[in-house]
Structure 1
Amino acid sequence: MRTAVVRVDVDPSGVLTPAQLREGMASLSALAPEVGATVVDADLAAMPPGRRQVEVLLAGDDADHLSRLALELCTRVFGVLGARPTAGVLTYVSRGTDHDALGVLAGLGLTGEIEREDGPEWDVVRVTLRKSDLERIPESRVHTALEASLNCEVRIITV
């Protein structure tokens, strides 16, 4: 299962005081495990208004569902304090696994086969894709995304 990092701006208009932001973070961290989430510790009071983002870690592949869940969680906490949280960017933590590679492909709307070969200096991952898929998405984009996620050499094979 992939781990998403969902960013939520909990105080976009800057209405909360430093004490409220600290209280909100403490409440959010305590409430997060109820939905299987973890909150990355951050000093929101040190951040400027409009940049007060929390990072909520959630397991799953459905980006829309995870974003909604994180936003609802933050709204439950910071909305009571007078803020109106807004959803931010969602990314995924990559551990360099084949599952991460499949997740990158899925994010691009592709399916493929992954083969991993242990090399003397680094791993080589062979990704087999359909030629027709690469007519929609440039191979260079797929290659770059996979190398960034896997941190190893990637070879794309088309069929």
Structure 2
Amino acid sequence: MRTAVLRVNVDPTKDLDDARLAAGRARLREQAGERSVVIEDAAGAVDSREIQVLVDTTDAGMARREVVRWCAGVFGTVPTVGPVTFLSRGTDADAHGVLAGFGLTGDVERAPDASGFDVVSVTLRASDLDRVPESRVQTALEAALNCEVRILLG
């Protein structure tokens, strides 16, 4: 399972004062354990209205809807969510997630090279690369896995 990172502006209209924002953030943190999520201050946030929610999910769209509903209930606002990104731990699940982001499926195999470093071989259908440039897939996989990636056609 992958970890989605949702950056949420809980008060885009700036109607809440500092006390209500602080109370809402405290309530979110209290409820986070019940929901198996992590609440963080948004990296580079310009004010306290932005948070990051980390949630393990296979469905980013559903996670986005649930987080908006949850934050709306806590703050009484209409929160907005930016693009969903994912943490990468270099796992095969991350590789499958990257492929899914391109609308692809493939086989992922991991083996050490002569120096003991991981080499990940990803087998894709040749017809899939008619839609998505191989270089984009290669770059995204290498960034997510932080290792050598070989794309094979099957």
TM-score normalised to structure 2 length: 0.90
The answer to whether structure 1 residue 109 and structure 2 residue 103 are counterparts is yes
Q: Note the alpha carbon deviations across 1:108-157, whole angstroms, 9 max, x for none.
A: 11111111121316321111111000000110110111011001111111
Matched residue pairs, number? Answer: 153
Aligned with 1:128: secondary structure?
A: strand
Whole-angstrom distance in 2 between the partners of 1:112 and 1:42: 34
Give yes or no for the alignment of 1:128 onto 2:132. no
The 1:121–1:52 alpha-carbon spacing in structure 2 relative to 1, beyond 3 Å, is: farther
Aligned-partner Cα distance in 2 for 1:42–1:109: 29
Matches of residues 1-159 of structure 1 in structure 2 within 5 Å? 1-41=1-41, 47-48=46-47, 52-79=49-76, 83-119=77-113, 120=115, 122-159=117-154
Q: Residue type matched to 2:110 in 1?
A: R
Deviation at 1:42, TM superposition (A): 5.5
- Offset at residue 41 of structure 1 (A): 4.0
Q: Read off the aligned partner of 2:38 and give its amino acid letter.
A: T
Give every structure 1 segment of 4 or more consecutive aligned residues whose post-TM-superposition deviation is greater than 4 Å: none
Q: Deviations over 1:2-30 (max 9, x none)?
A: 11111211111222222222111111111
Counting aligned pairs with the same residue, the percent is: 53
CA distance in 2, matches of 1:93, 1:129: 23
Tell me the TM-score normalised to structure 1 length.
0.87
Q: Distance in 2 between matches of 1:78 and 1:147?
A: 39
- Structure 1 residue ranges without an equivalent (≥5): none
For residue 29 of structure 1, give the secondary structure of its aligned residue in structure 2: helix
Q: Which amino acid aligns with 2:147?
A: C
